[in-house]
Amino acid sequence: MSRMSWPFIAGAFPNICRTEGLYLYDDSGRKILDAAGGAVVTNVGHGRVRVAEAMAAAAIETSYVVPPFQTPSRLALVDILDQDWLPPSLTRAHFASGGTEANEAAMKLALQYQQAIGEHQRIKMVGRSISYHGTTLATASISGHPGRKRGLESALPHYVSVPAPYPLRAPEGLNGASMGQYYVDQMRDVLMAEGPETIAGFIAEPITGSSGGAIVPPEDYWPKVRALCDELGIILILDEVMTGFGRTGLDFGYQHWPIAPDILVSGKGLAGGYAPLGGVFTNERVGSAIESAGYQVMFTTFGAHPSACAAAVEVLNIMREEALVERAATQGAYLHNQLASAFSEHPFVAEVRGRGLLAAIEVVADRSSLARFSIDRGISNQIVAEGLKRDVFYYFGGTGEVRDVVCLGPAFTATNAEIDQMVDILVESVTAAVSSG
């Protein structure tokens, strides 16, 4: 028996010894339906032998080589991204070991770009009030996620924050046409107060991930934010760690609007959970300015690991061969339809939201006033626990301030029957959690 506590804070977590399709099997043979795709990661599903074989082949071929050197799997990944996934405007790639590192690199690139073009006073990065970008000191600081800053608050550096769209709880009187403008005006006010000439970049998720629970902004929000960044000389970083590579039913979440980022960040689904990998892709304006200035873009030792790149190539090939992005759109529509019919009249669910196979419910104590359950109640954790008792795993959501959110983000291969089970068990789990208090 080990002395060592794993995870760090011990809890009652299952011991998973096999995964296949959408299922996790524990050491007693129990079968758990993974409605969350892990941490919204396993886009092509578990148990893809060809991905494992490609990783093994890459490990045999070039086990480890420093990230700036080229290897067959690195070149293949850059090639498939360039030919088949990224918009032509994004011409430069940097690879990290995950989403946090990739966002950290993206923020550094925005800062370096401004220095490179002589905008030396642009030294601030801006985030949003509801967001998650990672767990390092900088990415945690810029995240609008109080729950993940506990015990660190006084040590974290200050980052400028603008209000994130939260249509469910937007001020009364705003409608579809005025709501986007409202949030963009708020953003402008904050930037003006800070001095826009001091701002290097703005980082945001196109559709807010688990921190807000799959919040889709008002339709005109993104085009207006893009225009505001252009007007004020601010680099737009879109964090697509959760939404990228098909999750929302298009290749990238930002493609739901007529905009393009200066820097696009990915992670999670890029290698489908088979390997740790994050990607940072910049447009030529950013890339060439940094190159001309002679600045370094420092790599992490395991960034662009050959086996991780090989995994990503296979995952991306599978996505195209099986038309899984299209499937995320159709199965996502089915999931939203089933969630809507299960919860549209539910007394304790205020909203079903999301896009494609990124979905969430927001649970409330009172549907008409949107009053929340008390924070001590931990209702969304209770719902996740009730789901697990019933052999379905949902993803914890919320920031501590945005509370009581439960997320779903299954593999794109999910069948209608599996989606039905996710929804049925979610209804049971909400009822069980609410009535247990």
Where on the chain is the footprint of ligand PLP (CB under 6 A)?
A: 39, 98-100, 103, 132-134, 205, 209, 239, 241-242, 267
- Nearer Cβ to ligand PLP (209/261): 209
The sheet with strand 160-162 has its strands ordered as: 90-96, 278-283, 263-266, 235-239, 199-204, 124-128, 160-162
- By beta-carbon proximity to ligand PLP, the closer residue of 132 and 412 is 132
Which residue, 122 or 403, is less far from ligand PLP as judged by CB?
403
- Check if the beta carbon of residue 408 is closer than 8 Å to that of residue 242: no
CB-nearest residue to ligand PLP: 99
CB of 46 to ligand PLP, least distance (A): 18
Put residue 357 in one of left, alpha, beta given phi > 0 → left and psi -120 to 50 → alpha: alpha
- Residue 299 per-residue DSSP state: P
Tokens of 247: 């999750």
Closer to ligand PLP by Cβ: residue 268 or 327? 268
At 299, the amino acid letter reads F
Maximal C-alpha separation, the chain: 63
CB 93 → ligand PLP: shortest distance, Å? 17
Pick between residue 45 and residue 253 the one whose CB is nearest to ligand PLP: 253
Q: How far is the CB of 211 from ligand PLP (least distance, A)?
A: 7
CB of 304 to ligand PLP, least distance (A): 15
**Burial (0-12, 13-18, 19+ Cβ within 10 Å), 33:** buried
Give all strands of the β-sheet with 358-363 in edge-to-edge order.
349-355, 358-363, 405-408, 395-396
d(CA 387, CA 325): 27
The pair of structure tokens assigned to 8 is: 């760090």
Nearest CB to ligand PLP, comparing residues 45 and 98: 98
In the complex, minimum distance from the CB of residue 202 to ligand PLP, in angstroms, rounded to a whole number: 15
Shortest spacing between CB 300 and ligand PLP, in angstroms: 12
